[in-house]
Amino acid sequence: MAIYEFYCPTCREKFEQRRPMSSAGEPATCARGHRAERVLSMFAVPKGAAVAEAPAGGCCGGGGCACASAN
């Protein structure tokens, strides 16, 4: 089971729904029965949290992508 976020444009509210990943693309309705749209979830990182350093060779750990050239 995964948690998905939805937005109801009629009510202008976001809500979460738990459903199997196989049902991720199915339509959802809000508590009032309006059609809701699935939205991308935002993940929070606490302010001041330490950020891990990228391994040598870039974030992919070996320079196999453009990330290595950005450093």
25 within a domain of the structure (yes/no) = yes
Number of separate domains in the chain: 1
Q: For the beta carbon of residue 47, count every other beta carbon within 10 angstroms.
A: 5
Tell me what percent of the residues of the chain surpass a pLDDT of 90.
Answer: 51
Q: Is residue 56 very low, low, confident or very high in pLDDT (cuts 50, 70, 90)?
A: low
- Structure-block tokens of residue 1: 């089971």
What range does the domain containing 3 cover? 1-42
63 within a domain of the structure (yes/no) = no
| In contact, 2 and 19? CB cutoff 8 Å | yes
| In contact, 55 and 63? CB cutoff 8 Å | no
Write down the pTM of the prediction: 0.57
**Minimal CA–CA distance to 28: which of 18, 12, 59?**
18
